[in-house]
Amino acid sequence: MNGYGGSVLRVNLSTGQIQKQPTPQDVARDFLGGRGFGIYFLTKEVPPKADPFGQENKMIISSGPFSGLMIPGAGKCDWTTKSPLTGGYASASLGGHFTAELKYAGLDSIILEGISPKPVYLFIDDNQVELRDASHLWGKGSITVEKELKEQYGEEYQIATIGPAGENGVLFAHINHDYGRQAGRGGVGAVLGTKKVKAIVLHGTKSIPVADLPAYRQAGINLFKACKDAEILKEWQSYGTTMVVSWCDEVGALPTRNFTAGSFEDGKNLYGPVMRKTIVVSDKGCFACPSPCGKYSHTRRYNTYVEGPEYETIGMLGSDLGLGNIEDVAQANLLCDDLGIDTISTGGVIAWAMECFERGIFTKKDTDGLELKFGNAQAVFALIEKIARKDGFGALLAEGVKRASQKTGQGSEKFAIHVKGMEQSAYATHNATAMLLAYMTCDVGAHHNRAWAITYDIQVGREKVTTEKVARVIWLQNFRPMFDVLGACRLQWVELSIDRDLYLPALQAITGIPRSWKDLETVGERIWNLTRLYWIREIDGFGREWDLPAPRFYEDAPKTGATAGQITRFEDVQKLLDYYYEQRGWSKNGIPTPETIARLNLEQFVY
């Protein structure tokens, strides 16, 4: 099949059985790859109501038809599983160089099934596939493990690994690769940990078949040329995603002290240029990236090296914790990477605990003696370690902000900032209704990357609640994840603003099948609805209530900063959902109607 590795690798960890199957053509047609393959296999193969940490859950790692080819940033793969954090759908995207090797080994997906009786790592070198003993790696940090495995096998081997947090089942444990790229959200690392898989080591040498080689080359050149000519390339490369810290601070979108405000009085110490000047050593990019956004940094205060921090981490481990020193943020980032926890959820859960402490809900007796005040960097470092090891007070936070607040009570549920159990990423949405809706309806919980609508809010009027705004969110949700499906980075389109039509000739030349954006957006819509059906299948009573945001965004107007006194009214929150469900073809309770299911060919997935 042109554009594909050709096989799905199935590894049964319980029995040690390893099988390769041809990638199904009809699935490639309807779901293309990446995230599409993920939700297809998850829905088809993991039985309803499976325990995320049980034998029946699977980890599905998938590339797309662009992955491993000369398309900008074509090094993305998707990690799909049933989320231990939310109990629903988890899908996390990983950059770096892992995915290209996956394709070169002739694979489109790896499906990990069952639970290994002992710690192992999966070793793949072209056709050689083995489970190898990982007892000597168990307990070690992600960065140490990657280094050891690279020393053993060589630089050309690509490695994805979990840290101690994944082994310990921290519900927001992540997967680390390339010393600082992550499949971050939803607890994918915890699923790998309970399966006793410490790492995947990957290397391949096969070519990917392409339908029309000259046309593919030309289409690739056109894409790279557009990136090179982009007006903003130089600035993007200098600052990466930290470019937007100052703008978010200015417009009141920078999460500050558990989202009590959207502007931070020490924010300017965290801005991109400050970071570039004080800690950045060099730029670092993924496979085939013409516009590397990764920043490799060195902290003088701690004498440590880390990839990052990028915007989300600056927001969640910086301003949201009241930390106004970029070196402290970088150090917290490094601890999370090595111990194996998602920086966004970690920041969210620590910010909530700090607010509890400042309100007197927790005292030093509860926090193992930690003075958990906003701005206390040492307490943050200590707590990150405790969370990853589920040690003392850290064990409560290791369950995520939803469960921790339910256990704690005393009104703390009201300022637990999450949707569907996933901690909200780094955009304060007191008065940004499109972004708020994007978080409310995102298919994994409160994550920004399906619909980064905050810029649209500012362009068209942030407080407006209109059908046009809702349509924009839906369009973004259908279109943006296509990059996760195709296996390429979206940032060249999002940030460099290259023309999206340049991707179509490339896709046609690679697969031999002409497809329009309208057709691809239908694939996006099909995937979006299938993920919704998955939530409905897994959670009894799932519906509208699950799409509500944290009360902070309709009850607690910020007292300081650019959005002081501004808040979204609860009736507008409901209105956003009404418009959204109607435009999606869902019932008033947020359930896809039979007509919508039929229109998208999803009948086979309805139970």
Partner 1 sequence: MAAILKLFGILKKYIQGADQIMVPANITVRQAITTLHIPPEIVALVVVNGNQQSKEYIIQNDDEIKLLAIMGGGR
Backbone dihedral angles phi then psi of residue 280, each to the nearest 5 degrees: -75, 130
Residue 162 within binding range of partner 1, rule CB under 8 A: no
Residue type, 392: G
Candidate residues 209, 273, 292, 375; the one interacting with ligand SF4 per rule CB under 6 A? 292
CB closer to ligand SF4, 246 vs 291: 291
Candidate residues 234, 464, 559, 569; the one interacting with partner 1 per rule CB under 8 A? 234
593's tokens: 């109607």
Residue 291 within binding range of ligand SF4, rule CB under 6 A: yes
User: Candidates 159-167, 202-210, 213-221, 281-289 — which segment interacts with ligand SF4 by CB under 6 A?
Assistant: 281-289
4's tokens: 């594909």
Across 393-434, the runs of DSSP E, i.e. the strands, are: 418-419, 422-423
Q: How far apart are CA 270 and CA 250, in angstroms?
A: 13
Judge whether 529 and 602 are in contact, CB under 8 Å.
yes
Look at residue 489 and give the partner it binds from partner 1, ligand SF4, none, a contact being a CB closer than 5 to 8 Å depending on partner kind. Answer: ligand SF4
Q: Determine how β-strand 175-177 pairs with β-strand 181-183.
A: antiparallel
Candidate residues 489, 510, 550, 600; the one interacting with ligand SF4 per rule CB under 6 A? 489
Residue 551 within binding range of ligand SF4, rule CB under 6 A: no
Residue 233 within binding range of partner 1, rule CB under 8 A: no
Q: How far apart are CA 78 and CA 99, in angstroms?
A: 9
Tell which residue, 132, 74, 127, has the closest CA to residue 100: 74
Residue type, 526: R
Residue 491 within binding range of ligand SF4, rule CB under 6 A: yes
CB closer to partner 1, 235 vs 571: 235
Tell which residue, 157, 166, 120, 159, has the closest CA to residue 143: 159
Per-residue binding string, ligand SF4, 494-533, x by CB under 6 A, is ----------------------------------------
* Continuous segment of H or E residues that includes residue 113: strand 107-113
Backbone dihedral angles phi then psi of residue 21, each to the nearest 5 degrees: -125, 150
Look at residue 73 and give the partner it binds from partner 1, ligand SF4, none, a contact being a CB closer than 5 to 8 Å depending on partner kind. Answer: ligand SF4
Question: Binders of partner 1 among 254-283, rule CB under 8 A?
Answer: 268, 271-273
My answer on whether omega of the bond before 309 falls inside 30° of 0, hence cis, is yes
Candidate residues 252, 285, 309, 445; the one interacting with ligand SF4 per rule CB under 6 A? 285
Q: Which residue has the tokens 């609860």?
A: 570
Residue 554 within binding range of partner 1, rule CB under 8 A: no
CB closer to ligand SF4, 293 vs 397: 293
DSSP class of 135: T
Q: How far apart are CA 315 and CA 460, in angstroms?
A: 24
197's tokens: 């898989």
Distance of CA 330 to the CA centre of its chain: 19
CB of 90 to partner 1, least distance (A): 24
Radius of gyration of the chain (CA): 22
Which residues are paired to 121 by β-bridges? Answer: 132, 199
CB closer to partner 1, 129 vs 274: 274
User: Candidates 43-51, 147-155, 171-179, 456-464 — which segment interacts with partner 1 by CB under 8 A?
Assistant: 456-464
CB of 234 to partner 1, least distance (A): 8
User: Candidates 36-44, 333-341, 495-503, 574-582 — which segment interacts with partner 1 by CB under 8 A?
Assistant: 495-503
Look at residue 279 and give the partner it binds from ligand SF4, partner 1, none, a contact being a CB closer than 5 to 8 Å depending on partner kind. Answer: none
Per-residue binding string, ligand SF4, 433-472, x by CB under 6 A, is ----------------------------------------
CB of 341 to ligand SF4, least distance (A): 20
Q: How far apart are CA 221 and CA 71, in angstroms?
A: 8
Size of the site for ligand SF4 (CB under 6 A): 11
Tell which residue, 23, 1, 190, has the closest CA to residue 92: 190
DSSP class of 262: S
Which residues are paired to 592 by β-bridges? Answer: 586
Look at residue 499 and give the partner it binds from partner 1, ligand SF4, none, a contact being a CB closer than 5 to 8 Å depending on partner kind. Answer: partner 1
Longest dimension (CA), the chain: 68
CB closer to ligand SF4, 236 vs 362: 236
Residue 497 within binding range of partner 1, rule CB under 8 A: yes
Residue 286 within binding range of ligand SF4, rule CB under 6 A: yes
Which residues are paired to 307 by β-bridges? Answer: 296
Q: How far apart are CA 407 and CA 482, in angstroms?
A: 38
Candidate residues 180, 294, 324, 592; the one interacting with ligand SF4 per rule CB under 6 A? 294
Positions in the binding site for ligand SF4 (CB under 6 A):
73, 95, 285-286, 289, 291-294, 489, 491
Residues that bind partner 1 (CB under 8 A): 231-232, 234-235, 238-239, 243-244, 246-247, 250-251, 268, 271-273, 452-456, 458-459, 476, 480, 490, 493-500
